[in-house]
């Protein structure tokens, strides 16, 4: 069991008042907070080792390179990739998916090929594929969802065919909190000679992920959703594919030789990483992985599940409140979306903020999903390893207060 009380001492940001109430931070699906040990690792890097990586022979450059590449090795171990050649540092999930749609798409997608997404995708896992489909005259298709908000596997079996070139799918939804059966999908996609791309932004921070066991071709995620800093993320790809793909950006660091008319590329993974990278970000992500490993991803998964088990029936008991997604917290991360009848979610989120409770409201970068759910926007609470049942109680109480306020006009 996670010792949350002790762990929260690492997160001074959580121990503050907001609008004269103690902060309850429930916007972890957007960005998580950074604990002191990770900030300290990054500070030490800037205090002692800061220099450009890969090209310097002096001691600081060597230290910076070693720390940065050690972080890459930590990522490799964390997701169980075969080799560091398969671990590319990017700016985040969005840039990972854009690189992929550009690089893999330009090389392998042809007119009439089908790209299969689902209705629960984040815009980052829709728009790059739309752009690719336009460039190549490929066809976009969407797997539907069951009434409970799970991926409809029967529909997946109908949609994924010999024409399918790519299936790009979230591992976990950033709105419904559901976890998709990636191993099953991979088998289905590979049976039809397609390639599977997984948006792991909402999964890697919350549960153990093993890309080798899942046998996925590509897997993307972001550092800032797993206690790390912003501006750093990962694209995992099987060597077989990465070797055949062209870089998306060109310049320093990614070359082997540059002649006047031609150039050759560096080895994987550096072939894809043009220019000076986010060195402190990479080191911070490595440190975040160390922190998460010490607690264990299994523990984090169970902790979030317990909180969802606790909060879901209490939310559903509030009259006039609609919860989107499964009514039973099976295969669920710590994300939960809801609306209160007659109240715009922005108003609800503002009322919660007045009580110190930070949730998100809006379309959550998933407009096709919200259309599918027949709503313009929702409120969303997302729990993480440092949240408690007290936080869940505060959420429930503040929703009830907001409901009363908008009914009677006073807190
Ligand atoms: N996919 C999903 C499922 C997400 O939740 C997010 C972040 N909201 C992204 C992609 C994009 O991540 P980033 O903004 O870090 O690139």
Query: In 3-state terms, what secondary structure has residue 118?
Result: strand
Mutate to test the pocket of ligand 1, among 28, 174, 179, 285 (most ligand atoms within 8 A of CB): 174
Ligand 1 centroid–CA 291 distance in Å is 21
The answer to whether the CB of 126 falls within 8 A of the CB of 174 is no
Ligand 1 centroid–CA 355 distance in Å is 27
The answer to whether the CB of 308 falls within 8 A of the CB of 177 is yes
Tell me which of 293, 326, 342 is where a domain ends.
293
**Global ipTM:** 0.99
Q: Is 236 a domain residue?
A: yes
Kindly tell me the sign of the dihedral angle through the C-alpha atoms of 173, 395, 9, 39. positive
Same domain (yes/no): 345, 274:
no
120 lines ligand 1 (CB under 6 A): no
Q: Is 411 a domain residue?
A: no
222 lines ligand 1 (CB under 6 A): yes
How many angstroms separate the CA atoms of 354 and 13, rounded?
18
Q: Is 49 a domain residue?
A: yes
pLDDT at residue number 331: 81
223 lines ligand 1 (CB under 6 A): no
How many angstroms separate the CA atoms of 98 and 103, rounded?
8
Same domain (yes/no): 272, 318:
no
Q: For residue 48, give both structure tokens.
A: 């002692």
Ligand 1 centroid–CA 268 distance in Å is 25
Q: For residue 141, give both structure tokens.
A: 């298709």
How many angstroms separate the CA atoms of 79 and 262, rounded?
36
Q: Is 87 a domain residue?
A: yes
Same domain (yes/no): 170, 98:
yes
Expressed as residue numbers, the domain containing 265 is 38-293
Helix, strand, coil shares of the chain as percentages rounded to 5?
A: 45, 20, 40
Same domain (yes/no): 60, 80:
yes
Query: In 3-state terms, what secondary structure has residue 216?
Result: coil
The answer to whether the CB of 385 falls within 8 A of the CB of 7 is yes
Same domain (yes/no): 236, 371:
no
Same domain (yes/no): 114, 236:
yes
- Give the chain's domain count: 2
The answer to whether the CB of 18 falls within 8 A of the CB of 353 is yes
Ligand 1 centroid–CA 246 distance in Å is 24
Catalytic residue among 2, 30, 61, 365: 365
Beta partners for residue 379, in sequence order = 338, 361
The residues, any chain, with a CB within 8 Å of residue 131's CB and separated by 6 or more, are 101
Query: In 3-state terms, what secondary structure has residue 228?
Result: coil
pLDDT at residue number 367: 94
pLDDT at residue number 409: 59
332 lines ligand 1 (CB under 6 A): no
Ligand 1 centroid–CA 221 distance in Å is 8
Tell me which of 293, 323, 350 is where a domain ends.
293
Same domain (yes/no): 197, 134:
yes
Same domain (yes/no): 98, 142:
yes
CA distances from 350 to 98, 147, 379, 401 (A): 33, 30, 10, 12
Q: Whose CA is nearest to atom 5 of ligand 1?
A: 174
Q: Is 33 a domain residue?
A: no
Same domain (yes/no): 331, 393:
yes
The alpha carbon torsion through 364, 99, 384, 28 (nearest 10 deg) reads: -40
Beta strands in 242-303 (DSSP E): 255-258, 263-265
Residue 91 Cα: closest atom of ligand 1: 16
CATH number of the domain where residue 168 is located: 3.40.640.10
Residue 170 Cα: closest atom of ligand 1: 3
Same domain (yes/no): 306, 289:
no
176 lines ligand 1 (CB under 6 A): no
Q: Is 132 a domain residue?
A: yes
Ligand 1 centroid–CA 369 distance in Å is 15
Helical packing angle, 389-408 and 345-354, nearest 10°: 110
159 lines ligand 1 (CB under 6 A): no
Decide if 365 is catalytic.
Answer: yes
**Got the DSSP string for 304-339?**
HHHHHHHHHHHHHTSTTEEEES-SS-SSB-SEEEEE
Same domain (yes/no): 304, 375:
yes
Q: For residue 88, give both structure tokens.
A: 């590319």
How many angstroms separate the CA atoms of 194 and 217, rounded?
10
Angle (CA) 338-343-347 rounded to 5° is 90
116 lines ligand 1 (CB under 6 A): no
Q: Whose CA is nearest to atom 12 of ligand 1?
A: 93
Mean pLDDT by 10 residues, the chain (411 residues): 96 97 98 98 98 92 97 98 98 98 97 98 98 98 95 98 98 96 98 98 98 98 98 98 98 95 97 97 98 98 96 95 86 93 95 97 93 93 98 98 79 49
> How many other CB atoms are there within 10 angstroms of residue 78's CB atom?
25
How many angstroms separate the CA atoms of 332 and 178, rounded?
5
How many angstroms separate the CA atoms of 201 and 224, rounded?
9
This prediction's pTM? 0.97
Give CA 176 to chain center in angstroms: 14
CATH number of the domain where residue 18 is located: 3.90.1150.10
Same domain (yes/no): 10, 144:
no
Ligand 1 centroid–CA 173 distance in Å is 10
The answer to whether the CB of 45 falls within 8 A of the CB of 64 is yes
Mutate to test the pocket of ligand 1, among 90, 98, 122, 200 (most ligand atoms within 8 A of CB): 122
378 lines ligand 1 (CB under 6 A): no
Tell me which of 293, 308, 327 is where a domain ends.
293
């Amino acid at each position: 069991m996670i010792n949350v009380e002790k762990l929260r001492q690492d997160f001074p940001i959580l121990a503050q008042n907001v609008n004269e109430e103690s902060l309850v931070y429930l916007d972890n699906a957007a960005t998580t907070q950074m604990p002191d040990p990770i900030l300290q690792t990054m500070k030490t890097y800037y205090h002692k080792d800061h220099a450009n990586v890969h090209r310097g022979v002096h001691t600081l450059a060597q230290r910076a390179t070693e720390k940065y590449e050690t972080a890459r090795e930590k990522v490799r171990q964390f997701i169980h990739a075969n080799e560091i050649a398969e671990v590319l540092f990017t700016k985040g999930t969005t840039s990972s998916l854009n690189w992929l749609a550009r690089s893999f798409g330009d090389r392998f997608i042809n007119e009439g090929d089908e790209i299969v997404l689902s209705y629960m995708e984040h815009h980052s896992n829709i728009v790059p594929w739309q752009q690719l489909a336009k460039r190549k005259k490929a066809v976009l298709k969407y797997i539907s969802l069951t009434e409970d908000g799970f991926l409809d596997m029967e529909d997946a079996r109908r949609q994924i065919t010999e024409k399918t070139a790519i299936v790009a799918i979230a591992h976990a939804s950033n709105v419904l909190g559901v976890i998709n059966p990636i191993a099953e999908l991979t088998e289905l996609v590979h049976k039809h000679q397609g390639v599977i791309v997984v948006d792991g932004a909402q999964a890697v921070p919350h549960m153990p992920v093993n890309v080798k066991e899942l046998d996925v071709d590509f897997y993307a995620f972001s550092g800032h959703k797993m206690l790390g800093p912003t501006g750093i993320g990962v694209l995992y790809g099987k060597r077989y594919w990465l070797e055949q793909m062209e870089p998306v950006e060109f310049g320093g660091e990614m070359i082997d030789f540059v002649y006047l008319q031609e150039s050759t590329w560096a080895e994987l993974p550096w072939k894809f990483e043009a220019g000076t990278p986010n060195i402190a970000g990479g080191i911070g992500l490595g440190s975040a992985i160390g922190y998460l490993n010490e607690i264990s991803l299994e523990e984090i998964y169970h902790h979030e599940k317990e909180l969802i088990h606790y909060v879901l029936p209490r939310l559903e008991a509030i009259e006039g409140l609609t919860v989107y997604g499964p009514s039973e917290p099976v295969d669920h991360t710590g994300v939960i979306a809801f609306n209160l009848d007659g109240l715009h979610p922005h108003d609800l989120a503002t009322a919660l903020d007045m009580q110190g409770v930070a949730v998100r409201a809006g379309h959550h970068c998933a407009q096709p999903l919200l259309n599918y759910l027949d709503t313009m926007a929702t409120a969303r609470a997302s729990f993480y390893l440092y949240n408690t049942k007290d936080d869940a109680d505060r959420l429930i109480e503040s929703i009830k207060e907001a409901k009363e306020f908008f009914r009677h006009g006073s807190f």
